[in-house]
């Protein structure tokens, strides 16, 4: 019965899960991932856990009310010394008490620290979630462009197979009619087989890329996914304003470091405040019951009540508090160095991302020109081969150059888009 219940819950959770739109665009993929990716959900849960921890810590400022009850049966009743004689007391065989007490903290260094730190703890948790979302946008964008590149690669390879198939058929006819020997025919057969193997390899790799995108989106292995590439030209996405100045404050890692520094500063203040006393107020009301007979124990009560203040002052704890203060100050100093080190890392990351983007952009432009040139060369040699001026080896070489330049162009285009995302991440402007 338990297994059936668990299975039903699992099936309900799957059916209740939102579905990705058919032929999803990049924006829809990003929005879906930000809502459903496992790491994003985990970060949001961690953020909620943090809020509960804060509420739990601050609850110490509220009155703490407790109730206690007791019952005692005196097997041997106590005695008292009176008028030179030990007199056994009566009516004390059974005693009982119910005490209701309220305590209110008035001055407590730990609670003061929790109150000051709560704002920055919330901020820190929110920044952790934001960092996860930024990485999600980067991962989804790169995965989408990688799939788009593979789709274009498959098209290019299939176009290449169509050309090679025609060349193979022509070479076979020429061989069978005795116009040429079997060399051209065999070369065409080899080229066609290699192209089909290349198509198979690219298609299989494309399957993995779709599965990786599912993982990034938070989809299951059995979930279907279809992407929209309509009116999606990767060339339109490569432009980037390279004049944007780097600002450390835009980086989520830098913001997280500043928040950590503020929290450490609050901890230093707390360590200093441990020299202060703890002050609390209390009020209690008690119902006392006592009687020789248990049956009559609760027939009459003897109430009592008290209110007062409790002051606790730690006078000497060795040098523990002084050492804790010095330790916290050293941790602050270390965070200062961490911030400087992070600034250097951000500078280096930005420099590398920008250099890579510019280099990839130049490679893309070069490969784009090479595609046009290789097409022109192939078309010329194809005409010359048909007229018997060029050999089949020349045609195969031109065909290989064309396919290589087209694939290099696609790879360069993806590299530009990927490095553009890295630049945006380094600048802290990922949307």
For 171, 219, 365, 419, the CA distances from 412, given in Å and listed in that order, are 34, 29, 9, 10
* DSSP-derived 3-state class of residue 331: helix
**pLDDT per position as a tens digit, 171-224:** 888 777 777 677 877 888 888 899 999 999 999 999 999 999 999 998 888 888
| Homologous superfamily of domain range 19-62+108-277+316-427 | Outer membrane efflux proteins (OEP) (1.20.1600.10)
pLDDT at 88: 67
d(CA 299, CA 148) in angstroms, rounded, equals 86
What's the pTM?
0.82
pLDDT at 261: 96
- The encoded tokens of residue 237 equal 């996405």
> How much of the chain exceeds pLDDT 90, in percent?
61
Nearest to 223 by CA among 6, 93, 36: 36
Lowest mean pLDDT among 8-17, 81-90, 117-126, 144-153: 8-17
Mean pLDDT, all residues of the chain: 88
**pLDDT per position as a tens digit, 66-110:** 999 999 888 876 677 667 776 666 557 888 999 999 999 999 999
d(CA 168, CA 190) in angstroms, rounded, equals 9
- The encoded tokens of residue 347 equal 């500078």
- Contacts of residue 106, Cβ cutoff 8 Å, sequence gap at least 6: 279, 280, 281, 309
User: Dihedral of CA 216/221/223/224: which sign?
Assistant: positive
Do residues 101 and 283 lie in contact, with contact meaning Cβ atoms separated by under 8 Å?
yes
d(CA 404, CA 249) in angstroms, rounded, equals 43
Nearest to 216 by CA among 81, 30, 27, 343: 30
- The encoded tokens of residue 346 equal 């951000």
Domain boundaries, the chain: 19-62+108-277+316-427, 71-105+282-312
């Amino acid at each position: 019965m338990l297994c059936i219940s668990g299975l039903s819950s699992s099936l309900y959770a799957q059916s209740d899960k939102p579905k990705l739109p058919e032929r999803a665009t990049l924006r829809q993929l990003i929005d879906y991932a930000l809502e459903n990716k496992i790491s994003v959900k985990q970060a949001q849960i961690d953020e909620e856990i943090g809020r509960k921890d804060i509420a739990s810590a601050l609850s110490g400022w509220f009155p703490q009310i407790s109730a206690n009850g007791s019952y005692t049966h005196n097997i041997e009743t106590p005695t008292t010394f009176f008028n030179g004689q030990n007199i056994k007391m009566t009516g004390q065989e059974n005693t009982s008490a119910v005490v209701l007490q309220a305590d209110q903290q008035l001055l407590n260094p730990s609670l003061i620290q929790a109150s000051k730190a709560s704002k920055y703890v919330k901020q820190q948790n929110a920044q952790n979630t934001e960092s996860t979302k930024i990485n999600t946008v980067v991962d989804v964008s790169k995965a989408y462009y990688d799939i788009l590149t593979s789709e274009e690669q498959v098209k290019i390879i299939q176009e290449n197979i169509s050309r090679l198939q025609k060349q193979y058929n022509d070479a076979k006819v020429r061989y069978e009619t005795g116009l040429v020997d079997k060399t051209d025919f065999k070369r065409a057969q080899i080229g066609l087989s290699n192209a089909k193997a290349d198509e198979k390899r690219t298609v299989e790799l494309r399957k993995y890329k779709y599965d990786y995108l599912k993982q990034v989106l938070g989809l299951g292995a059995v979930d279907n996914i279809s992407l929209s590439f309509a009116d999606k030209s990767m060339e339109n996405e490569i432009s980037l304003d390279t004049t944007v100045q780097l600002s450390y404050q835009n980086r989520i890692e830098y913001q997280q470091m500043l928040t950590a520094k503020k929290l450490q500063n609050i901890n230093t203040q707390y360590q200093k405040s441990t020299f202060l006393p703890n002050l609390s107020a209390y009020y209690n009301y008690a119902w006392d019951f006592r009687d020789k007979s248990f049956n009559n124990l609760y027939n009459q009560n003897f109430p009592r009540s008290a209110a007062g203040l409790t002051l606790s002052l730690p006078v000497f704890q060795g040098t523990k508090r002084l050492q804790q203060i010095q330790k916290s100050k050293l941790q602050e100093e270390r965070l200062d160095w961490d911030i400087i080190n992070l600034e250097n890392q951000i500078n280096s990351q930005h420099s590398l991302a920008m250099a890579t983007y510019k280099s990839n952009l130049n490679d893309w432009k070069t490969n784009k020109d090479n595609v046009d040139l290789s097409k022109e060369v192939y078309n010329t040699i194809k005409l010359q081969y048909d007229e018997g001026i060029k050999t089949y080896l020349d045609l195969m070489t031109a065909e290989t150059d064309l396919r290589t330049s087209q694939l290099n162009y696609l790879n360069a285009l993806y590299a530009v888009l990927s490095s553009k995302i890295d630049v945006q991440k380094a600048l802290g402007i990922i949307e």
